Amino acid sequence: MIKQFAACILVVGGSAAFGQNQPAQQDSEQAERRAPRPRAAPAPTPAPMLAKKDTPAPDKDAVAAAVTRGVEIIVSMQEGDTKAEWPYEGVYRERGQIPIGYRIGGTGISGMCLLQAPGYEADEARHGAVRRAAEFVIAGLDHAEMVPSHEKTYDVRGWGYTYGAWFLLTMQDRKAVPDDMKAKVDAAIRWYLDGVHKTEIPESGGWNYSMPAGLKKPNPSSPFMTAPTLTMLFEAKKQGYTVDGQMVERALNALERGRSSTGSVSYAGPADRRPEATPGSVGRMLCTECALSLAGRSSPERVRGAIDAFIVHWDWLDQRRAGTGTHVAPYGVAPYYFYYAHYYAGQAIELLPQRERAEYRRRLGQLLFSVRLDDGSWNDRIFPRSANYGTAMSVMALLMPEMPRPAEWAAETR
């Protein structure tokens, strides 16, 4: 499907694992008992069939209807003791539970989608859902597993820092923060930004949830994590928050080192140490070129090459959609890159010259509608709960033409 496009190549990825001392573990277990828990997951469903071939490109009415249905699904999936969260569910667990970083991160992503979809101002159901989500994200400041550290070699709290802050920043940007929450939202943003600063990889720059050498030593950065963190930091800077310019420059340098001569992007660290084939790299290529473009370090040619690679090699992504395992041969594509890549394809298209966007938008819409499930949701995992994430990322990808251009890291801010 869709094999007539000339291509470049690009990537996505990250993974990790770690341990902690006994007092910290006891504190964490007590915090887990106090924290609201998500409901038990429904039973896994079989992987869906591959994409429906010959799906027509959606027109504006079809996109609008899909967005409306997606919003309904996300609102209905909010869960937990206080119906306040949208946990991201993957295979990684901490003491058998979904980690708090995934719970906050997933909540932030779904919350951003609800804020950005048309009609938010008049939608009381969304107002309530977003308020409860914000309260949950703010409560994360008191969770023992969200303290800025990296005591283990695999730690996903950074997803909570990035997407928790990004969600709250989006609330502020959309003027959607209730008056009685403004001070708490501002304080939480500052706390999450501090977490991002404190978990930067020494010397190498950037961020990763896989830190084999520990937090205090150099580790390879993950473009999968570094690119969205940078995008969030650009927005924070635009809104007047303090962001360490040198930290941002180190992260941008790390992304550039991950590019290979072919355009593919490494899974982690410099491309010359671990070159990657393009079919497994397309998600990383897209997020990398988007972040670098917003900082003046990419070009339309590189961005276009990443989009072309995504379209040409899309079938390799689709073969891993809702599959089991993680980085499966031959290209090491994990299921969770699927809608991540579509989100960044949508963003990348809007960074191209205006005259080039229409055809790429048509292609992206056609691909997304070919994998839309019968109930109107999107899901790239075997876990039904993860439809919250897949639907949010897909809806935001479809909305990209109507969304404001992301904040840039201009020369004067460096």
Q: Which residue has the tokens 């990790």?
A: 16
Cβ proximity of 175 and 185 under 8 Å? no
Write a three-state SS string for 111-173: HHHHHHCCCHHHCHHHHHHHHHHHHHHHHHHHCHHHCCCCCCCECCHHHHHHHHHHHHHHHHH
Domains and their CATH numbers in the chain: 22-46+55-413 (1.50.10.20)
Closest CA to 67 of 344, 378, 366, 307: 378
Helix (H, G, I), strand (E, B) or coil at 259: strand
Which residues, listed in sequence order, are joined to residue 79 by a DSSP beta bridge?
85
Q: Is the dihedral of CA 149, 160, 188, 231 positive or negative?
A: positive
Residue segments in the chain with a per-residue pLDDT below the cut of 70:
1-53, 91-93, 150-151, 211-213, 322-332, 411-414
Secondary structure letter of residue 38 according to DSSP = P
Which residues, listed in sequence order, are joined to residue 154 by a DSSP beta bridge?
210
Q: What is the pLDDT of residue 41?
A: 41
Q: What is the pLDDT of residue 381?
A: 83
**Residue 252: HSE in the Cβ half-sphere, 13 Å Cα cutoff:** 22
pLDDT tens per residue across span 244-289: 999 999 999 999 999 998 899 987 888 887 777 888 889 999 999 9
Q: What is the pLDDT of residue 213?
A: 66
Q: Please, what's the b/e burial string for 106-132 (b: 16 or more CB within 10 A of its CB; e: otherwise)? A: bbbbbbbbbbbbeeeeebeebeebbbb
Neighbours of 211 (CB within 10 A): 26
| CA atoms of 103 and 79, how far apart (whole Å) | 11
- N-to-C CA span, the chain: 43
Calculate the CA dihedral of residues 315, 319, 321, 322 and round it to 10 degrees: 160
Structure tokens at 274: 């671990």
| CA atoms of 337 and 281, how far apart (whole Å) | 10
pTM of the predicted protein model:
0.85
